[in-house]
Structure 1
Amino acid sequence: MKCNKLVLAAILAFSSSSFAQTAYDFVVEDIRVEGLQRVALGAALTYLPVQRGDAMNRFRITQLIRSLYSSTHFEKVEIYRDGNILVVEVAERPTISNIVFEGNDDIKDEQLQESLENSNIRIGEPLDRTVITSIENGLKDFFYSIGKYNADVSAIVTPLPRNRVDLKLLFEEGDAAKIQQINIVGNEIFEDDELYKQMELQFDAPWWDFLSETRYQQQTLSGDMETITSYYKDRGYLQFSIDSTQVAMTPEKDGIYVTMNVSEGEQYNISEVELVGDLLGFENFLAQVIPLESGELYNQAEITYTEDFISKYLGRFGYAYPTVTTIPEINEDDKTVKLTLSVDPGKRIYVRRVNFAGNTVTSDAVLRQNVNQMEGTWLSEPLLDSSKAQLSRLTYMEEVEYETVRVPGVDDKVDVDFTVKEQASGSFNAGIGYGDATKLSLQAGIQQDNFLGTGKRVGLNISTVSYQKQAQITYLDPFFTIDGISLGGSVAYSEFDGGDFGVIQYNSKRWSVGANVGYPINEVNRISFGLTYSSVELSDDNTNYVQTRRFYDQFADQTDPDAPIDYDSFLASVTWSRNTLNRGLFPTAGSSQRASFSVTTPNSDVNYFKLVGDGKWYFPLTRNQRWSVLARLRFGYGNGYGDTDGVEQILPFTENFTAGGADTLRGFENNTVGPRGLVRFSSVLTTSPTGVPILRDPSQDTIALSQRSLGGNAMALGGLELIVPTPFLEADFDNSVRTSIFFDVGNVWDTEFDFETYENLNVQQGSDGLQDYSDWKLYRSSAGLSVQWISPMGPMVFSFSRALKEREGDDARFFTFNIGSTF
């Protein structure tokens, strides 16, 4: 059917539609919509503000076209009259089939995707071509703000069948403009170099200063201007100002010259400090603790601190939104300033609900156990911060954030919304393998720190390698009671071959069962008590080491001295721990300390004690904490107590400390650092006629040393690590991959070793030289590079290291690999 081309309304300036003009109005008898593909006819009719029987006029036509365009489904609208039939011909906007980003380095795909979605550009939605240009310009402005003035962004729309399109954003970022020079004009009090030190933007930086920011960034310059302003105002220059800033660019757009014109003014002293407003009865306390005092130099940093302190202090009592304003009254005659702190605490705020989002595995109840802010109580910022810290320390939490949301229609209640991001909380392994050291190995096990989302730790491990066969079940409920009392236990059985483990040759069989209970002292300190029963069967394989023979002789059967020995023990322990780390895995700030004392009960077959301490301290170097320094310290001491049948008890050598490997001294083979096993041979001169040996003087005896370490009863280990961003990986991977440059140092020694007894004896050929194993100063050290990865199979540690200080007989290793929790 051919329509009469009668214009019913003028073409709208904002659209590409055409309209046949008419000189008269008409009454609509029917409506026909043409050109629909994806949009249903019923849906299209809902956008038309016209029905059968309506009289058409210019105003109604304008409404109709606006309504169709506002639906966002159409990019072209034409309206015709066919008799008294209203004909609406449309061209639908194409549907976005795919979005591709190419050439973007400074902007992540996720950021671009978020930006497009904010503009309603997403896969499966109609494409509004009118916003493409604004998106291109917005992205160009971003690149200009970070100094990339040659950057270009192009949106390429490729038509596809069935009215679909592919959208590609093509980036040509180019190189960022370098800062050629920064000029500060008007400063007389502080030299240029002094002010340059305060700035993040730098120019003419030496090659080795890889932390310097020489790329021009508008946001960074704004931050530097605030820093310089604060530098002056913190030193009394109350009326300092940056009057103007000029940024000039080289013709090639690869260099930037920055000029700042400043007015320094004069120094001012504080003449008086006055607190006014509703101070809720805390006037005397606040007046005593705030750092502002009359007669001192004006300091903007102290004023800001005072305002924050008052706000946070009032926040402890539920006044979460106080207003603290400092009003200066300047006296130009004597260059003084009176400071009036006006305090309006506002209303006391209560928490209606505490909500959680993002936890797909962990139950709300487990998260709520770690939150100190209770529902129905005052809103407390310190409690919220401590709640966030406790949640962040959970090993199955990667990120934790919170915000307070006012309840609509109520001015004294808020909801607290915690948003968490979970990470793998356990590991599963099953397999078969073969290695030069471990030979054939079979293993199967599961370790889960957040079992079924309950927050309970459950472990089942069965493994067999060349040096050990073991089976172990562990359990820990960190919130056995609502007060945070924990309860745990373990059952284990193992068969151990020390020779294949890296220590001296001995075999043992052990089974044990234990339980422990922990009590929170406060949110960062905890104390726990444990009791473990162990039964050990031990054989020495006829090695006859001097250090171990004394222990064996306590239990050996004189009629069968080569028979295995066995002993039972009840080990009681008390442990104190403190944790202020900002995360459970891969922390970057805070510290953790742990000290434990364990002792066997007097009714045990062996009587000994052990004291072990461990500490880690993290010091962030940058604001984003991607650069940090870790300081580590570990120490231990153990010995026997009492006597048995007149024989003084000693520490069982199976309880000795060892060192070497991923979590102690990298650069040395596992458990090989420390005293060696010593065997003493009595030299026979001749025999009597009756066949009885005639022995030489004991001073003529010979000694031999084991190739393996015996361990010792004392240990001291330490180290420093520089945590750096992992090359070629973005910041999003910082919570799963960590790279560090380390320095390790330490030693294991035996305080009971009598070096003078053996120092003049001959050492058997082929043995390493005898050392004073009681000397703590015989330390080892190493340095290198370590990469840690939380893989689907569990934590993995790769270390490339070089031994800097080693002793005779040490087994230094350039590369070591370890699977297990060492963080």
Structure 2
Amino acid sequence: MTINRLVAAMLLASASSSVLAEESFTVQDIQVEGLQRVALGAALNNLPFNVGDTVTEYNLSRSIRTLYGAGHFDDIKVFRDGNTVIYRLRERPTINAIEFDGNKDIKEEQLIESLSGNKVEVGEPLDKTTLKSIENGLTEFYHGVGKYQADVEVEVTYLPRNRVNLKVKFEEGDAASVRQINIVGNTLFSDEELLKNIESQQDLPWWRFMSSDRYQKQTLNGDIEKITSYYLDRGYLRFRIDSEQVSVSPDKESVYVTLNVTEGEKYTIKGVKFVGDLIGQDEFITQVLPLKDGQLYNGALVTYTEESIAKLLARFGYANSKVRTIPQVNDDTKEVELTISVDPGKRVYVRRINMMGNSTTKDEVLRRELRQMEGAWLSNDSLELSKQRIQRLPYIESVEFETAPVAGEDDLIDIGFTVKEQPSGSFNAGISYGDYMGLSFQIGVQQENFLGSGNSAGINLNTNKYQKTLSFSYTDPYFTLDGVSLGGQIFYSDLDYGSSNLEAYDYTRYGFGASIGYPINEYNRLNFGANYVVNKINSISDYDQLRHFRAVLLDSENPDGGYNFTNYELSAGWVRSTLNRGLFPTAGHYLGANIKVTAPSSDLKYFKTSFEGRNYIPLSTDHSWSFLSKLEVGYGNGYGSKNGYDYTLPFTENYYGGGQNIRGFESRIIGPHAVILGATSVPGLPGDGGSFPSTPENDIYDVSQRSTGGNAMAIATFELITPTPFLSDDYRNSVRTSFFVDVGNIWDTEFDINRYDGLTQVSSSQRRPKLADYADAGLIRATAGVSLQWISPMGPLTFSLAKIIKKQEGDLQENFSFNIGTTF
């Protein structure tokens, strides 16, 4: 007992001596050596004591850790000289520049962003300890995409004034290919049946060069999910993948994937019940519920049910609802009871909607397309519909929206719509002089977003030797708040087709008109219009198809007076559009039907109908690939009669083919040609030397080289829209590349080829086509080619390269064409 007390006393004395040995002192001065870029004040602020404080060796040791934590120094030493504390520091070098060499799979923007996240950026001090982790992280990325031979090294070059340049050197190597995928444990479905549903490919032959068997870890993870879903969708509720092994070959050029699975047995649904709050929609949800009692369990249907309920709740403002399915599995009976838990959360209201990115378009023009209103509850359907309506505007390239919670409020959000505008009009101007054309002057502006108002305005003036045209048009699509549109136009044209070597007649036309449109719902609209048009035609070529036109208009007392007629045109149309964009759509359809008819009080009585249908089917999730099918049909004719002659569609209203609508053919070359009749002659009396016209059955005829158009049209287009090669994604919505097939014909339902039976066709010095049955709708033309469309600042431009597949007698080809006009 005495010995133990003695030992305890000795240990206590030793501990007291150790405490006294840690001498404290009062700091009289602090000196810092080695600073270059770091300010003295910034260094002193990181110290845990100041001059005048009493410190110990522990405090000095702690100050070193504090200075290291500031991130400015590579080496820190502290000394004591009496009551003066001296710090000798070596600053971390400052990064002067960062260079990347050899990177192909990772863009420099991504690398810079990744390095910035690790505080490795120009102007910042370099922490060498992070370089190894950067190297390892990038190497791991390459391993994840199958490049096991990849190597990443960060090279440091020291510069004067304690600066460094960093060079990240990449040796990416080739990606390892998937040599074999083995599935172990599957007896219900074969390897081939399971593997055909996944994205990873194995050991592809050389002729499948368009496919890839490159190994990627992310792709394999997705494939595992697909295989799991394949079983769950067929009732195998207990299916699981027990393990996955990826083995790399010694040369690191191939990988072998092995999946060990347990399939289990099929389970059926015993019952479905709901818990939680269905916001009064219990009956509706129960009626549309795809999950039924006794049905085979289907994982896809369960997910679809959850998503459908969440979307329904979102329509009523419950944007943050939580819907989950809780299965109660009975392994004995192989049945599962599903309990769907619904927590709608709080109803969310919209406090404010902000418009961003519109430098030209006024806010009110965009806001009037919104179907989600401020102060109302948030509806995902209304948000998506608002986005669609804004994006259908021809002067908007793209629209995105995001929601942001209001600070301190759990039931309020703000919505921000960000739009990207695009050119919405065209402009042309010029003045020139030529021996043939004379003095030419032209100016034209067509703007679909006039002064940012969303109104459409146009003015065109063109004058030269053979034409003088002037037109004004203006349309307000929101003349009233509920979307009733109102527009008007004034026009004048004086064309001398004989001087232009196009067709031999003079045509003067002027008038004015108005139009009004009514929205039926979000997708359908009715349009009505009326025009007053005065027409004057002189010096027209005399060809046979105009006999009815001449008979009802020509003044027998003044046969050289030309054709003067005034028409009162009435029109009605219907449009249905679900397109996702106004220009260059990639999804949805457009249907438009229109009829124009002259009033009975008009000089010419006729009608003209047209229909256009377009359907876009996206072939990829990002809509970079899409398929367009388009149909245009039209028909016009006269109604009533005069002087025993039926009214017909005036030739000025005819349809024409070639150029823009059937690419690969010259403009206005497809369709009926003019048939010009002429009389043969017989000799006069002997010694007279003259001649007399023969009887009509001996007439001759000629056929014009170019088409005069027809009263019926049918054109179909099939177009595969593809990504434009070598073009940044920033221009994807303003440039479009496509491969097309155009098929169609223009014909004349009133043409009677039997009129020319027994007559002889003659040919002039120019090459003329042979007479064909221009009433035959089966004289089909077809072309195929590639097209490039660009919405340029000067207006839409279209370049087409086409090859004729099927043509008819007299057709002229035009392999390459360039047009300025509307895109579709």
CA contact (8 A) 2:181 2:257 kept: yes
CA distance in 1, matches of 2:454, 2:738: 30
2:544 counterpart residue number: 546
Which deviations, in whole Å up to 9, do the C-alpha atoms of 1:641-666 show, x marking residues without a partner?
2345554322121111112123x111
> How much identity, in percent, do the aligned residues show?
51
Aligned residue for 2:303, secondary structure, equals: helix
Counterpart residue identity of residue 141, structure 1: E
CA contact (8 A) 2:462 2:470 kept: yes
CA distance in 1, matches of 2:340, 2:385: 29
1:581 counterpart residue number: 579
1:788 counterpart residue number: 789
1:123–1:56 Cα change, 3 Å: same
Query: For residues 69-80 of structure 1, what are the structure 2 equivalents within 5 Å?
Result: none
Query: For residues 162-311 of structure 1, what are the structure 2 equivalents within 5 Å?
Result: 168-205=167-204, 212-311=211-310
Which deviations, in whole Å up to 9, do the C-alpha atoms of 1:485-523 show, x marking residues without a partner?
333333333344557999644442333433323222222
- Listed as ranges, the gaps of 5+ residues in structure 1 are 1-21
2:780 counterpart residue number: 779
Aligned residue for 1:583, secondary structure, equals: coil
1:15 counterpart residue number: none
Q: Post-superposition shift, 1:306?
A: 1.3
2:667 counterpart residue number: 670
2:322 counterpart residue number: 323
CA distance in 2, matches of 1:440, 1:157: 70
Aligned residue for 2:579, secondary structure, equals: coil
CA distance in 1, matches of 2:369, 2:643: 52
2:593 counterpart residue number: 595
1:618 aligns with 2:616: yes
1:342–1:32 Cα change, 3 Å: closer
Counterpart residue identity of residue 775, structure 1: D
CA distance in 2, matches of 1:367, 1:602: 43
2:714 counterpart residue number: 716
Q: Comparing 329-338 with 310-319, which one deviates more in the overlay? A: 329-338
CA contact (8 A) 2:625 2:722 kept: yes
Counterpart residue identity of residue 780, structure 2: Y
1:819 counterpart residue number: 820
Which deviations, in whole Å up to 9, do the C-alpha atoms of 1:719-758 show, x marking residues without a partner?
2112222233344442233222211101111111112212
1:517–1:189 Cα change, 3 Å: same
Q: Comparing 436-445 with 133-142, which one deviates more in the overlay? A: 436-445
- Listed as ranges, the gaps of 5+ residues in structure 2 are 1-21
CA distance in 2, matches of 1:656, 1:755: 19
CA distance in 2, matches of 1:198, 1:138: 32
CA distance in 1, matches of 2:465, 2:193: 63
Q: Post-superposition shift, 1:47?
A: 5.6
Which deviations, in whole Å up to 9, do the C-alpha atoms of 1:611-638 show, x marking residues without a partner?
1111211122222322221111111111
1:802 counterpart residue number: 803
CA distance in 1, matches of 2:156, 2:452: 46
Answer with 1 or 2: which has the greater Rg.
Answer: 2
CA distance in 1, matches of 2:183, 2:499: 68
Counterpart residue identity of residue 713, structure 1: N
Which deviations, in whole Å up to 9, do the C-alpha atoms of 1:454-512 show, x marking residues without a partner?
33333344456887654444333333333223333333333445579996444423334
Aligned residue for 1:532, secondary structure, equals: strand
Q: Post-superposition shift, 1:783?
A: 0.9
CA contact (8 A) 1:244 1:262 kept: yes
Q: Post-superposition shift, 1:301?
A: 1.3
CA distance in 2, matches of 1:434, 1:188: 84
1:797–1:121 Cα change, 3 Å: farther
Aligned residue for 1:231, secondary structure, equals: helix
Q: Post-superposition shift, 1:561?
A: 3.4
Q: Post-superposition shift, 1:359?
A: 3.2
Counterpart residue identity of residue 684, structure 1: S
Query: For residues 427-506 of structure 1, what are the structure 2 equivalents within 5 Å?
Result: 427-430=426-429, 443-463=442-462, 470-496=469-495, 504-506=503-505
CA distance in 1, matches of 2:434, 2:614: 33
CA distance in 2, matches of 1:351, 1:420: 19
Aligned residue for 1:511, secondary structure, equals: strand
CA distance in 1, matches of 2:467, 2:118: 61
Counterpart residue identity of residue 374, structure 2: E
Counterpart residue identity of residue 716, structure 2: G
CA distance in 1, matches of 2:634, 2:557: 37
1:245–1:773 Cα change, 3 Å: same
- The TM-score with structure 1 as length reference comes to 0.88
Counterpart residue identity of residue 677, structure 2: R
CA distance in 2, matches of 1:247, 1:272: 41
2:6 counterpart residue number: none
Counterpart residue identity of residue 624, structure 2: R
CA contact (8 A) 1:367 1:391 kept: yes
Which deviations, in whole Å up to 9, do the C-alpha atoms of 1:208-260 show, x marking residues without a partner?
65663422222122112111211221122222222222222222322222222
1:705 aligns with 2:680: no
CA contact (8 A) 2:27 2:53 kept: yes
1:681 aligns with 2:678: yes
CA distance in 2, matches of 1:435, 1:730: 42
CA contact (8 A) 2:703 2:771 kept: yes
1:533 aligns with 2:532: yes
1:638 counterpart residue number: 636
CA contact (8 A) 2:548 2:646 kept: no
CA contact (8 A) 1:657 1:713 kept: yes
Counterpart residue identity of residue 305, structure 1: Y
CA contact (8 A) 1:725 1:731 kept: no
2:110 counterpart residue number: 111
1:752 aligns with 2:750: yes
2:762 counterpart residue number: 764
Q: Post-superposition shift, 1:812?
A: 1.3
1:386 aligns with 2:385: yes
> Alpha carbon RMSD of aligned pairs, Å?
3.5
